[in-house]
Structures are given as C-alpha cells and as structure tokens.
Amino acid sequence: MNEREIIRDFLVQKVGTTTFSDSDSLIQNKLLDSLSVMEFVSFLEEQFEISFESDDMVPENLDSIDSVINLLISKNALVEVD
C-alpha cells in the first residue's frame, strides 16, 4: 500500500464514504470537522513519524489528500510518491 492509499484508507474509515477524490476539499465537503482534523494530524504524525508545527496545521495543508502529500514531501517524510 502506498502513501496515498494509506491516507485514503484512514479517511474512508473515518468518514464512512469513498465518494471523494484526492483533490476534493475534505473540509468544504464536510468530510472533516475540527476534531477529526486533529485526529487526522495525529494519524499522520504517527504513520509518517513526523511532527507538525502550528504553522503546518492550516487548511491549505490538510484540506485534501493531494495537499497532505505535498506537505509530507515538504517535511521530507516522503521522498517519492507512488
């Protein structure tokens, strides 16, 4: 399972639907609320062995699977995306 699939699997289990794409807004589409965003951040920190700073936790970084992948790349948690 690649990184995208790991993230998608977590989100599908969390929100109970598969009807979103990697570029869809998770917040605007009400798939994540403030509490579930924090759970998502905790999952990402544990799964990818990284720490988020407060300036990382903005909607632009966490609003879609694509944006999360880009954030992980910028934090050197991913070298190459499948």
pLDDT at position 79 is: 60
pLDDT at position 4 is: 93
Least reliable range by pLDDT among 13-17, 66-70, 77-81 = 77-81
Model confidence pLDDT, tens digit, residues 33-61: 989 999 999 999 999 999 999 999 898 99
CA gap 74, 72 in Å, rounded: 5
Q: Catalogue all structural domains in the chain, each as residue range(s) with its CATH number.
A: 3-74 (1.10.1200.10)
CA gap 80, 82 in Å, rounded: 7
Q: Which of 7, 5, 13, 6 is nearest to 68 (CA)?
A: 7
Say whether pTM exceeds 0.75.
yes
